[in-house]
Amino acid sequence: MPVERFGLYLVITNPATSYEKCAEAAVKAGLSYVQLRMKHAERDRILAKALNLRAITRGSNTRFIVNDDPALAVESAADGVHLGQNDMPLPEARRLFPSLKLLGLSTHNPEQAQQAATLNPDYCGVGPVFATPTKDIPDPTLGPELAGQIIRQAPFTTVAIGGIDRSNLATVLRAGAINFAVVREVCLDPAPYDAIRRLQDIWQANQ
């Protein structure tokens, strides 16, 4: 599978506006990916939001991903699921849920990235690049240089993630990142579309 270059991968978590408004902004901006991430929420609430975001992204160029739960991803007709290292193993998710077109995987160090290469994910998250409060038990930070090294060696599409914002994005890109994910930089902004455009402008300037 060719390595994709699309810039921002938006992870929607606890938005200042709403999950729907962030998804609408992502579609308006032409983002390739938007992920619904609702840690600790009740499953029925997650499914309701997933169905809303599927309706917003349906028919657009924005692929809709559900975090952690492949069964819920199928129920909401999502394009795919993003799996952490402690979630269902990727080969099992591929076998049990063949309707999912996209399977993403989190990696947190060079060893996990090397192992991922044997699993043929559609993309891998690489991070955390910087410290981030969005994880209950954060993994050790990689820093831009090590993250860039992992990304340059990966044979699949990668997304740098963890503490990335407009103040450090250019540094991450110069170190080797191709694509990047943010949570707070967009979700906490009362104007998510404007936040997305600022980030994509930085990405474009560093290509």
Q: What is the pTM of this model?
A: 0.96
| pLDDT, tens only, 98-154 | 999 999 999 999 999 999 999 999 999 999 999 887 666 667 899 999 999 999 999
d(CA 137, CA 125): 17
- Encode pLDDT of 93-104 as tens digits: 999 999 999 999
Length of the chain: 207
| Nearest-angstrom CA–CA distance, 67 and 99 | 16
d(CA 116, CA 119): 5
Residues pairing with 160 in the sheet: 126, 180
The predicted structure's pLDDT at residue 1: 67
Contact at 8 Å (CB) between 83 and 67?
Answer: no
pLDDT confidence bin for 74, thresholds 50/70/90? very high
Q: What would be the CATH architecture of the domain defined by 8-205?
A: Alpha-Beta Barrel (3.20)
